[in-house]
Amino acid sequence: MQSRYWLAMLIGTTIGGFVPALWGGELLSYAGVLLSCVGGVVGLWIADRTR
Contact status, residue 50 vs residue 12, Cβ threshold 8 Å:
no
Domain of 23 in residue numbering reads as 2-49
Residues 16 and 36: beta-carbon distance below 8 Å = yes
- Say if residue 45's pLDDT is above 80: yes
Q: Which residue would you say has higher pLDDT here, 5 or 1? A: 5
Count up the domains in the chain and report the number. Answer: 1
Sorted by sequence, the CB contacts under 8 Å of residue 13 that are 6+ apart come out as: 36, 37, 39, 40, 43
pLDDT digits (tens, 9 = 90+) for 16-42: 999 998 988 887 889 999 999 999 999
Q: What is the pTM of this model?
A: 0.84
Q: Are 48 and 21 in contact (CB under 8 A)?
A: no
